[in-house]
Structure formats: C-alpha cells, structure tokens
Amino acid sequence: MTIWFISRHPGAIAWAAQQGLQIDYQASQLDPVQVQTGDTVIGTLPLHLAAAVCQQGARFVNLSLDLPAHWRGRELSADELRHCKARLECFEICPAPLSLAGVQA
C-alpha cells in the first residue's frame, strides 16, 4: 500500500513534511491508473481525478484550507497554510448519472 502526496506547491510539500506524514511517493500530478487498491492519495485534486482514485479502491484524503479570497492565486508558505487551518479530510467521491432535465443550455 502506497501513500501518495500530490501537489505542485512548495508550501504544501513543506507543510506535509512538517506534519510528519509518512509519504511513499510525492508528485506534482497524478495518473490514477498508477493507484492501486488500498493506496492512499493525499492532495487537492480535481473531482474527476479524486473519483478515479476512489474507483480504483484507494482512499482520497483532501488537503483542505479555509483560504481568504485575497490569498487566492498565489503561492502559500507552510506557515500561511497553517494560518488557513490546513487539515486532512477523507472523502469518498463517485460519479453520478447526469440528467439534463430542467437544465438550460
């Protein structure tokens, strides 16, 4: 069972190291095909990739933040992540059938 940490942000990588997380593989992007049943993927992923992780039988753990609007779009340090109450939250995500009934194009 592999523990993945997925982030391209130096502050997030530093934060994870400061938390003492036991990470087997760190990468800036994830190819969900590489994830195996029983693995854990930690990071902030687009929903379709998080769903693919869960469909592979792995666990998805989101790096969640309470980010002020004026900090969006900039790199954050590990200290700033702590200020934003960085935390790990486990989610199970699965795609659902799409119904376009009542949706205007």
The answer, yes or no, to whether residue 102 has pLDDT greater than 80, is no
105 inside domain: no
70 inside domain: yes
d(CA 101, CA 86) in angstroms, rounded, equals 38
Angle at 62 between CA 59 and CA 63, to 5 degrees: 140
pLDDT in tens, 13-49: 999 999 999 999 999 999 999 999 999 999 999 999 9
Q: Given this model, what pLDDT does residue 99 score?
A: 79
β-strand pairing of 25-27 with 40-43: unpaired
Look up the domain containing 74 and give its range: 3-91
Size of the chain in residues: 105
The pLDDT mean for the chain works out to 93
Count structural domains, the chain.
1
Q: Residue 18's closest CA among 91, 86, 90?
A: 86
Is residue 66 within 8 Å of 29, Cβ to Cβ? no
